[in-house]
A and B are shown apart, each in its own frame.
Chain A
Amino acid sequence: MHNYKSMKLMNFSEVTGPQFHKVHVGVGHRLDAFSSGVLVLGIGKGNGVLEHLCKSHVTRDYMLEGEFGKATDNFTHTGRVIEKTTYDHVTLDKLERVLAMIQGANQKALIMYSQVDLHTQEAYELAVRGLLYPHGKSPPILTGLRCIHFNPPHFTLEVQCVNETQKYLRKLIHEVGLELRTSAVCSGVRRTRDGPFKVENALTRQHWTAGSIIQAIAHFSKATRKIRKLEMYKQTAGQLNSNAQVQEQTRMCENLVKTYSKRLTSVIATKGYITKY
């Protein structure tokens, strides 16, 4: 007997066309039109991890190309030139000193925005290990800055930062120029690392196929697990700092649990999940 079900026309993909599954794709930290580099995408269940990545204050690495001699309205080399200045007095030595000063100010900001009481021994312990990171809202802070290449008028900076926008980085190039009593524009912003996702593992245009994407997801499965764990650690570190906050949080949690307990139990019963209380 023939299996008539399997011979239905609908089962042939040449008849119906390729079948698409609806998959949610989310974007991690944004990259604006002028910049290039690593862009983290989350597929399906990975979108939840993306949220953790955003909250976890991982640092990002950028390579900034700059050019001395002109100032434009949007801090890039394609903008309208506002002013042109000389730059022959700029040496690598002076540039390094300016970068050291900027880095110093940012290190200070890093500790100040960490919302930790600096008069406690715990604050000292965290500061020694370099674990003081800005919690909650903070302005963009550079955790590392150095000059990779210097060939006047062109120069390249490597920046490690937290909570930044690409426009801020272009403005940084402009400010470096101002400190050196000249003007500078940014001719390229390239993100080389976003948290644990490095540019070496990023997929280029030729590799945007299902096979390589699946491989990449498998490669990063450890990293995604780490991010989830890191988020929980950061939460506990934040709780160390203020008892009052913890009490309020537990009270809020208790209230939530009370109001939604009936709903929770019904959800658990239907879906069969095991949750911790």
Chain B
Amino acid sequence: MALVSIRSCGRCGFLLGLRAYATRPVGTPRKREQQDDTPVFQYVGQHRKPQGKVFVWGFSYTGALGIPSFVVPDSGRKKPRKYQLTPYRLDTEQKISSAACGYGFTLLACNSRDLTKLWGMGLNKDSQLGFQRTQHDRHKSYDYVLEPSPVSLPLVNPQETRVLQVSCGRAHSLVLTDSEGVFSMGNNAYGQCGRKIVEDEVYSGSHVVHKIEGFNSGVTQVACGQDHSLFLTDRGSVYACGWGADGQTGLGHHSKASCPVPVGGDLAGVKVQQVATYGDCSLAVSTEGQVFGWGNSEYLQLASVTEATQMSSPRLLPLRGVGRVRQAACGGTQVAVLNEEGEVFVWGFGILGKGPKLSESAIPERVPATFFGRSEFNPTVKVSSIRCGLNHFAAITDRGELFVWGKNVRGCLGIGKHDDQYFPWRVTVPGHVTDVACGVDHMVALVKTII
């Protein structure tokens, strides 16, 4: 080959000495036989399916993130990591299908038929994660659980029942199973666990996991407020129990309820498809797309129907310009709804997502879709679900991106800084976000990988 090239150059009349080329000149393509010699690597097989992963971020000292090395470093040289400001992968043995963040603790559930279906981590001073036996003393329970530890449920058929959903409040948690109803654990000082209030009960180190009775049909969704609980049955009726000082139980009075009572008011006869609560205000979305609210209204959450600061009976909220509502989410002082077209409306008090000027609103304000990635290249991006933490919002679009905004309490937004976020901001997660759970100062995201 080299000799040929010298001859052709010679024809052009250049003076070339007899230089023997040891290597092929740079830039000329290799001959066919040499190309096929290189081995072909296979990194991904034909039947590989996307895996589910769990990412956590926020305040780690309570153990709510489930990574013990953040609180108690492995080696003496490392310092404990107080805030995890960006998503961090939490290694789990099973595929987690449902997660819930409470006030300083987290519950992860897997909907398999295995014996271990539920893991808990974080604060356990009120046994909201069940009884976590210590290594040294089998009668004592851990106050802080730093790693995802199995939570045992008193199931009749542990090898058949599946856990569908978990929900966490301030100091109690609810577990929904498919065939054995709802289980509750944790603090019951106001009856939020759905069982009789025992005076001076010591909740730390308690073994009590109570199966809640009193529903006339199967429960399809549970929601935990700060000190109250809401249950949605398959017939579309809502039950409530727990603290009622702000009227958040919706039972028409302001006292405690220690076992679930059906909620009336404007909800009587209405088929509800979703209930939402996290603080002291509660919302329900009917199958017709209407929103009913009750509870705390100090922050203008229910100002569309009442000027009072509390409402103890559900009322229909006449939301103008919102259309049919598909999903609602309640925070401590703010409320968000998602309509059928994938648009997000917010109102209440706090950082609502329309810049620093809008700090409170009594009427729903639409968050512009350009923040969620809508542009000329992607004109059809919609929000598919919204969640509320105590002081922040999270939205997941149909393209699997997670957007957060609100007050950045101890790094709970996961955007890499401690500053508050006044409009929706993308959280960089390596994968397609399918679900997110928001707590007070931490968040958990359930992510599916792309390959």
Contact = CB atoms under 8 A, between A and B. Distances in A.
Contacts, number: 99
Contacts of B432: 97
B321 interface: no
Given A97-B450, A104-B428, A120-B356, A89 B38 contact: no
B1 interface: no
Interface stretch (A2-10, A79-87, A221-229, A266-274): A79-87
Interface stretch (B2-10, B264-272, B369-377, B385-393): B369-377
Interface residues of A, number: 39
Given A81-B38, A100-B400, A119-B356, A128 B426 contact: no
A85 B401 contact: no
B43 A181 contact: yes
Contacts of B357: 121, 124
A211 interface: no
Interface string A62-95: 0000000000000000101101111011000010
Interface of B: 27, 29-30, 35, 38-46, 48, 354-357, 368, 370-371, 373, 375-378, 399-401, 419-423, 425-426, 428, 430, 432, 450-451
A127 interface: yes
B450 A101 contact: yes
A109 B253 CA distance: 52
A100 B399 CA distance: 7
6 contacts: A81-B30, A89-B44, A118-B422, A144-B375, A144-B377, A146-B378
A12 to B, nearest CB: 39
A182 B48 CA distance: 14
A213 to B, nearest CB: 32
A84 B41 CA distance: 6
Nearest to A159: B377
A116 interface: no
A85 B400 contact: no
Contact of A127 (B399, B420, B423): B423
B41 A94 contact: no
Contacts of A119: 356, 419-420, 422
A241 B384 CA distance: 35
Contacts of A127: 370-371, 423
Contacts of A101: 430, 450
Interface of A: 78, 80-81, 83-86, 88-89, 94, 97-98, 100-101, 103-105, 107-108, 118-121, 123-125, 127-130, 143-146, 160, 179-182
B392 to A, nearest CB: 16
Nearest to B399: A100
Contacts of B377: 103, 143-146, 160
A182 B401 CA distance: 23
A130 B450 contact: no
A181 B370 contact: no
Contacts of A146: 377-378
B43 A182 contact: yes
A107 B426 contact: yes
B46 A89 contact: yes
B417 to A, nearest CB: 10
A260 B353 CA distance: 50
A100 B401 contact: yes
A165 to B, nearest CB: 21
- Of the candidates A88, A104, A119, A179, the one having the most CB atoms from chain B within 10 angstroms of its own CB is A104
Contacts of B29: 78
> Ordered nearest first, which 4 A-B pairs have the shortest CB separation?
A124-B355, A144-B377, A181-B43, A181-B44
A94 B46 CA distance: 13
A84 B35 CA distance: 10
Given A124-B423, A127-B370, 14 more contacts: A86-B41, A86-B44, A89-B48, A100-B399, A101-B430, A119-B420, A120-B356, A124-B355, A124-B356, A124-B422, A127-B423, A128-B370, A128-B423, A182-B44
Given A104-B401, A144-B377, A145-B377, A88 B370 contact: no
A84 B451 contact: no
A125 B356 CA distance: 11
Given A104-B426, A105-B428, A84 B39 contact: yes
A78 B30 CA distance: 10
A85 B451 contact: no
Nearest to B424: A127
Contact of A85 (B42, B48, B422, B425): B42
A98 B450 contact: yes
Given A108-B426, A130-B370, A85 B355 contact: no
